[in-house]
């Protein structure tokens, strides 16, 4: 999938006609997937590439910051990395990321059609959702877009709501499920277990010192740390997880683990990650072939820089503040025991094709 950032990069290339859809695509849930499948079919019918147009930051993030009202910003389901990965998995040919700034926010609906859809994107076909609005003050709607398409020579179509068991699938519904810790409902809406991926980054290396004597490997509760690049994740707390990307075996099963997604309330403000949201994952078992593979890493024995994917399967509890390292150690040990009990009862979820 080709990724293009900003209209200026589009304008520097030869003109290309596209079949496109526009949205935030937070989570790339089953409703998005159905829309993208229809878009791909229409693009093939017309012999043009399929293109998903999205925004970064989320427009509501932009306006929340402008008005200094952070409570208006939506909780974020997915990082940009994971959104792009899911769009690629759906088979989209190109994703255009438009920086949502004052200039874009100020474009009238007509100017958005002329300058963005026609001028920069060469729209031949535009597919939108039933609640699509665009342009300054969200004055553009489907009727305006349809009329503009007829006048400017591109087709316009609208896809109505997608439902699963009578429930309308939307990013808001996914956020609600994640906020409630209902990972099964979130997975039903997404069509897959909720997951976060990224490069393993350095932390305080505190985990490997906690419970070290009990681990038998001298690494305590060592964790694989991923940054979640948004201050307001839709999910937070302690989760039963499974980890992909560490085991070098061709058809390796995911590694079971337990993870903390949040701001680590028991750590001091001198945390090297500066209070940013982290997903800290402790693998319950480290197979020997994983240890052997990591022995040849740039930092021997460590996974720094590797790209891993962590699926959040079940929420154990919200983040807790512990008053001492001993209490924190006991809390993590209990979480590990609870995660092992969950896997014993449920088993790992089937591996998802890459």
Q: What is the tens place of the pLDDT at every residue in 320-338?
A: 888 888 888 899 999 999 9
Are 194 and 171 within 8 A, CB to CB? Answer: no
Q: What is the mean pLDDT of the chain?
A: 90
Question: Higher-confidence residue: 302 or 313?
Answer: 313
Confidence of residue 213 (pLDDT cuts 50, 70, 90): very low
What is the pLDDT at residue 302?
79
Which structural domains are found in the chain, ordered by start? 2-168 (3.40.50.620), 193-346 (2.40.30.30)
Per-residue model confidence as pLDDT tens digits over 3-50: 999 988 988 777 899 999 999 999 999 999 999 999 999 999 999 999
**Cβ atoms of 92 and 36 closer than 8 Å:** yes
Tell me the per-residue pLDDT of 101-154, one tens digit each, with 9 for 90 and over: 999 999 999 999 999 999 999 999 999 998 899 999 999 999 999 999 999 999
The whole-number pLDDT of residue 271 equals: 58
For position 203, what pLDDT does the model report? 65
Residue 275: predicted pLDDT: 65
Write out pLDDT tens, residues 149-175: 999 999 999 999 899 888 889 999 999
Q: Which residue has the tokens 């201050």?
A: 231
Residue 293 parent element (H or E)? helix 288-294
**Average confidence (pLDDT) over 209-237:** 76
Token pair in block for residue 96? 């255009």
Q: 352 or 8: which carries more pLDDT confidence?
A: 8
Contact between 116 and 7 (Cβ < 8 Å): yes
pLDDT more than 90, % of the chain: 70
Look up tokens 């940013």; give the residue.
Answer: 276
Long-range contacts formed by 262-269: CB under 8 A, 24+ apart: 262/233, 262/236, 262/237, 262/319, 263/319, 264/319, 265/319, 265/320, 265/321, 266/320, 266/321, 266/322, 266/328, 267/204, 267/206
pLDDT at res. 327: 87
**Cβ(118)–Cβ(152) under 8 Å?**
yes
- The Cα 230–Cα 241 span in angstroms is 21
pLDDT on residue 296: 73
Write down the pLDDT at residue 287: 84
Q: Quick one: pLDDT at residue 237?
A: 97
């Amino acid at each position: 999938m080709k990724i293009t950032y900003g209209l200026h990069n589009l304008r520097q290339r030869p003109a290309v006609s596209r079949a496109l859809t526009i949205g935030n695509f937070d989570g790339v849930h089953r409703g998005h997937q159905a829309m993208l499948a229809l878009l791909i079919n229409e693009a093939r019918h017309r012999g043009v590439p399929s293109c998903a147009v999205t925004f970064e930051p989320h427009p509501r993030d932009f306006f929340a910051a402008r008005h200094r009202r952070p409570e208006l910003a939506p909780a974020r389901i997915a990082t940009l990395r994971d959104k792009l990965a899911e769009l690629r998995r759906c088979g989209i040919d190109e994703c255009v990321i438009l920086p949502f700034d004052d200039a874009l926010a100020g474009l009238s609906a007509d100017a958005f059609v002329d300058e963005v859809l026609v001028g920069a994107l060469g729209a031949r076909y535009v597919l939108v959702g039933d609640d699509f609005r665009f342009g300054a003050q969200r004055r553009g709607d489907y009727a305006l877009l349809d009329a503009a398409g007829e006048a400017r020579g591109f087709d316009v179509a609208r896809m109505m709501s997608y439902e699963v068991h009578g429930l309308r699938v939307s990013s808001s519904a996914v956020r609600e499920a994640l906020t409630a810790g209902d990972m099964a409902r979130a997975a039903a809406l997404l069509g897959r277990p909720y997951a976060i991926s990224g490069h393993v980054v350095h932390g305080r290396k505190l985990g490997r010192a906690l419970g070290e004597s009990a681990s038998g490997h001298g690494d305590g509760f060592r964790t694989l740390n991923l940054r979640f690049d948004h201050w307001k994740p839709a999910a937070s707390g302690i989760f039963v997880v499974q980890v992909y990307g560490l085991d070098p075996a061709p058809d390796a099963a995911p590694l079971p683990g337990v993870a903390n997604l949040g701001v680590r309330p028991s750590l001091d403000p001198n945390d090297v990650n500066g209070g940013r949201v982290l997903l800290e994952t402790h693998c319950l078992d480290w197979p020997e072939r994983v240890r052997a593979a990591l022995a040849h890493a740039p930092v021997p024995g460590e996974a720094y820089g590797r790209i891993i994917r962590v699926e959040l399967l079940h929420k154990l509890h919200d983040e807790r503040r512990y008053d001492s390292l001993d209490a924190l150690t006991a809390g993590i040990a209990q979480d590990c025991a609870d995660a092992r009990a969950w896997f014993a009862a449920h088993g790992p979820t089937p591996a998802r094709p890459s």
